[in-house]
Structure 1
Amino acid sequence: MADPKCSTRPRLMAFIALLFALFSTGSSTAQVPVLLWSSDGLPALAPSAAGHITSTDQLTAYLTSALGSGPRTVVLFLQDKLSKDDFTVFGGVFGNKQDSAFQNLEAALQTSSSSVTLPALEWSGSSAIPALLQEELGVSPLLVDADTLTHLSINSSASNLLLINLPYCTNAHKSCKEVLHDNDEIIGKVLSIMKDKNVKYTAVYTGSQPSRVISETSLSGQPVGRSLLQAAPPPSVKPPIMFNGTGGPCIMLWAQNLNISLSSTGAWIDLAADTPTLTGSFCNISNSQLVLTYASGYTLSFAMSQRFYPVSARNWFALDSVQLQASSLTASFGSRSIYAPAEYSYHCMSVSSFGDALLFPNSTNANASQWRLNFVDFQIQGFSLGNGTDFSYASDCAGFFTAGIWMGLLSSLLMLFIFVYGLHMIMQLHTMDRFDDPKGPSISVPQSE
């Protein structure tokens, strides 16, 4: 009988060689790694030279040969961002295996019947790989998570495309290693569920876009030798989302992050990293609605209205509701204190549905309590756009007298009161008119009989 350790050693060496290929590729401006493995076998792929960038046509040809024979079940782990540097920094190839953020992924590649690694695939858009898989399988992707997959019945006689979105690290929440470790736990849980269901599958792990982009600049024409340090150019800022009505631009929205999460323990998904379509949006004098539809299957809708208030003698607009659609589920949230003068925009550093919430689940919608929303550095305007390209003056959600200002004022008033009271007590002190001199005659105090 063959030694099982001897049988797994070549596969382990092959996995290490694949990861070394990830690290040995040259820098490029737009590329994402793609890892494929299967429980049913994949066609062999000739190893590419170091620095080779796989084109979309080459990937299409390989997927045709790998998925073209009979029905297939494909599990697509689509991370918001991914680059080969993530494996270098957070993997355990060059260090301690126990410290790797990709333990379940490494185990899946080692134990699968076959695996293929494309260290550098040219990136052409966030929906390129899901579109290729959808075209090859002839089915639309089904957005699921680990909990949904447990109760899902999979028909092995037909092709299936299961899409599992994974977040990437943001400064607002966890560190990159913690997020990637959580994603790896989700991958391990999903693969365990597929094994328990006894379903043969092909898994794909990749990113919607690169997490790190290194620009390649030509050295020709560059001065050779030492030069003084120069200030780095300011980072580019993504443009706001703008909807054009019949009379021109009428709705604008910008956010650093549009984070959504299923339940209080679910992973965060940042929708702001992708470019949405605005189908279904509209605007008029009294109402406007911005509908953001993403390729990942999520839809965010912002409903706004404006009215005239006689007390202030001016028009005010308010964000009436936020609606989230995921697959066949709809979650609706109302808002509180999200309003501004109609000619202003509204800005807030954090608009969330938990904690000090500005959004709250509608009582008539049971699905809303299962989701969490957190919009970071959020700004929106639905009426009276100024020059059509920029936001109007922003009405910020943080008032002038914030909690910190009130604490400072109260502390200052308390210290002032103590100082005034002490000064008053000092001013009430009086000295004696006469003092007893031991060298002179003693003071006699006459006593009346």
Structure 2
Amino acid sequence: MEWLYLTVVLLAGNTWPASCSQHVPFLLWSNEGSLWNSVSEPHEGHVTTDSLLRVFLDTALKNGPRNVLLFLQEKLSIEDFTAYGGVYGNKQDNAFPNLENALETSPSTLVLPSVDWYAVSTLPTYLKEKLGASPLHVDPSTLQELKLNKSIPSLLVVNLPYGASSVLMTTKEVMRGNDEVLGQVLNTMKSEDISYIALLTTMRPSRVARDVSFEVDRVGRQLLHTSVTYAPLVFNGSAGPCIMLWAKNISVYFGDKWQELTNETFSSSSPIGKETFCDSENISLVLHYGNASGSPVTLKFFLRNREYVASGQKWFSLHEVQMMNSTDTLSFNVSHISAPTIYSYHCGFVSSSPHFGGQLLGNRNKSTEKWEIVLEDFQIQAFNVTGMSFNYASDCAAFFSPAIWMGLVTTFLLVFILTYGMHMVMSLKTMDRFDDPKGPSISVPLTE
């Protein structure tokens, strides 16, 4: 672990101050050699973007084995390696002995300490397209039962927890348990004599650093509320990414209680269904949730792309949202959710509830009359997704909001009072005589 520890410390020291809350570590290794010798590693402090990460992966998948192990930890940061790893050979205090051994003994290794998590969010879909194999979620026990064929590509996904998800175990103990799972999987591959490429990463950091310049202003807000930021949900069509969706909170009212689906939507195991498709004019995004209020729930978003002669450009619009369970379906007609295709669309609330604007209008029946859906801080972009970040947003809020109207009215009243006061002051006239008419007149004696 010594060389890994020193590499991580040196690179993290240069990388961490620069918007580290959006960067995650990415470790690659393979039991076949010379996979990344022809590719120059990024320099210290460099953030690996989506395009650069795909260069590394393309090189490995082209020249290396077609069996890929993807270890996706719930949360992970560079600091975890320095906090829970053995320093300078202290094996008793090391939570990553199997990872250390794999990196030290593998002929091909690559450590990327700072990768844009937007690049990681599309990793399962990207590997599925490259390998032509669907992701198979496994654990060490089921892996031993599998009989992998060396000539057939495979994508095995191993999900690993983090300390925050365990009450009785410390974070370090959970990390050590994850390392044992990693060791068991690698030993199984070794016993089967199967060549592989292994990747260890996460979709969100375990430690989010605050921006020092804003810390004083935000400290009071942080004491009252702690928010978790997720990477956008992205679907790749045949020609690349075609839709990107994000929301601070996704909740549905179903089965007489509210159910939050935010974490399931943006977690590593994507809920995007096989029915999802996109072309140049239509998109159907299907999200499956296994258990919401005791029953499976499916959300469907239908979008169109149309050219309007009056504006001289194409606009995309979300024209229908469907919410369904195993027996019933409720369709919501959408009003005023559209934007030019060169922009994204953003709105503080998109909901079927009148308390949050009521932009989703549903034809309800007796079984669905209480169904509701709320999307908070909703942002979507379709048909013109060029990268892993949203374009300029067309916001649903009108320019003359209530706050602006209050400011304009208050300003008008103050200007009116000031103008009236200045007019009164300028109309004042001074007296041309200072004699008191009621008093005795002034007599001046004449002297000869």
TM-score by length of 2: 0.52
| Residue 252 to residue 277, structure 1, CA distance change in 2 (3 Å) | farther
Shift of 1:210: 1.2
Shift of 1:130: 1.7
Q: Tell me, what secondary structure is at the counterpart of 1:74?
A: strand
The count of residues paired between Structure 1 and Structure 2 equals: 272
The reply on whether 1:214 has 2:235 as its aligned counterpart is no
1:119-144: CA deviation from partner (whole Å, max 9, x where unpaired): 00001176322223223222211111
Aligned residue number for residue 241 of structure 1? 250
The reply on whether 1:96 has 2:102 as its aligned counterpart is no
- The 5 Å alignment of 1:340-379 reads none
CA distance in 1 between partners of 2:54 and 2:134 (Å): 17
Aligned residue number for residue 194 of structure 1? 189
CA distance in 2 between partners of 1:257 and 1:63 (Å): 27
Aligned residue number for residue 167 of structure 1? 161
Aligned residue among 15, 24, 32 for 2:24: 32
| Residue 272 to residue 48, structure 1, CA distance change in 2 (3 Å) | closer
| Residue 278 to residue 99, structure 1, CA distance change in 2 (3 Å) | same
The reply on whether 1:43 has 2:36 as its aligned counterpart is yes
Shift of 1:232: 4.5
1:96-149: CA deviation from partner (whole Å, max 9, x where unpaired): 232111111001101111210000000117632222322322221111111111
Q: Structure 1 counterpart of 2:258, which letter?
A: M
CA distance in 2 between partners of 1:143 and 1:100 (Å): 27
Contact 2:253 2:372 in 1 (8 A): no
Q: Structure 2 counterpart of 1:213, which letter?
A: V
| Residue 128 to residue 93, structure 1, CA distance change in 2 (3 Å) | farther
- The 5 Å alignment of 1:5-404 reads 14-24=3-13, 25-27=15-17, 28-41=20-33, 42-44=35-37, 45-69=39-63, 72-93=66-87, 96-124=90-118, 127-170=121-164, 172-173=166-167, 174-218=169-213, 232-237=222-227, 241-243=250-252, 252-254=258-260, 277=271, 293=288, 299-303=290-294
| Residue 119 to residue 388, structure 1, CA distance change in 2 (3 Å) | closer
Contact 2:29 2:199 in 1 (8 A): yes
| Residue 93 to residue 135, structure 1, CA distance change in 2 (3 Å) | farther
Contact 2:75 2:206 in 1 (8 A): yes
Contact 1:71 1:158 in 2 (8 A): no
Q: Tell me, what secondary structure is at the counterpart of 1:209?
A: coil
Q: Tell me, what secondary structure is at the counterpart of 2:203?
A: strand
| Residue 186 to residue 60, structure 1, CA distance change in 2 (3 Å) | same
| Residue 108 to residue 389, structure 1, CA distance change in 2 (3 Å) | closer
Contact 1:21 1:119 in 2 (8 A): no
| Residue 215 to residue 293, structure 1, CA distance change in 2 (3 Å) | farther
CA distance in 2 between partners of 1:55 and 1:197 (Å): 35
CA distance in 2 between partners of 1:128 and 1:84 (Å): 21
Q: Please identify which structure carries the higher helix content.
A: 2
The Cα RMSD (Å) is 4.1
Q: Tell me, what secondary structure is at the counterpart of 1:19?
A: helix
Shift of 1:214: 1.6
- Can you give the 5+ residue segments of structure 1 that lack an aligned partner in the other structure? 1-11, 259-270, 281-290, 306-318, 321-381, 391-449
Q: Structure 2 counterpart of 1:53, which letter?
A: V
Over 4 Å off, 4+ runs: 229-233, 237-240, 255-258, 271-280, 382-390
Q: Structure 2 counterpart of 1:78, which letter?
A: L
| Residue 68 to residue 95, structure 1, CA distance change in 2 (3 Å) | closer
1:331-390: CA deviation from partner (whole Å, max 9, x where unpaired): xxxxxxxxxxxxxxxxxxxxxxxxxxxxxxxxxxxxxxxxxxxxxxxxxxx977599759
Percentage identity across aligned positions?
Answer: 36
Contact 2:78 2:113 in 1 (8 A): yes
| Residue 61 to residue 272, structure 1, CA distance change in 2 (3 Å) | closer
Shift of 1:71: 5.2
Contact 1:22 1:84 in 2 (8 A): no
Larger deviation: 77-86 or 24-33?
A: 24-33
Contact 2:26 2:199 in 1 (8 A): yes
1:172-197: CA deviation from partner (whole Å, max 9, x where unpaired): 52211111110000001111111100
CA distance in 2 between partners of 1:388 and 1:278 (Å): 18
CA distance in 1 between partners of 2:108 and 2:48 (Å): 20
| Residue 256 to residue 93, structure 1, CA distance change in 2 (3 Å) | farther
Shift of 1:26: 2.4
Q: Structure 2 counterpart of 1:138, which letter?
A: G
CA distance in 1 between partners of 2:123 and 2:373 (Å): 35
CA distance in 1 between partners of 2:97 and 2:81 (Å): 11
Q: Tell me, what secondary structure is at the counterpart of 2:60?
A: helix
Shift of 1:55: 0.5
Q: Structure 2 counterpart of 1:252, which letter?
A: W
CA distance in 1 between partners of 2:196 and 2:369 (Å): 53
| Residue 293 to residue 22, structure 1, CA distance change in 2 (3 Å) | farther
CA distance in 2 between partners of 1:187 and 1:387 (Å): 42
CA distance in 1 between partners of 2:250 and 2:83 (Å): 33
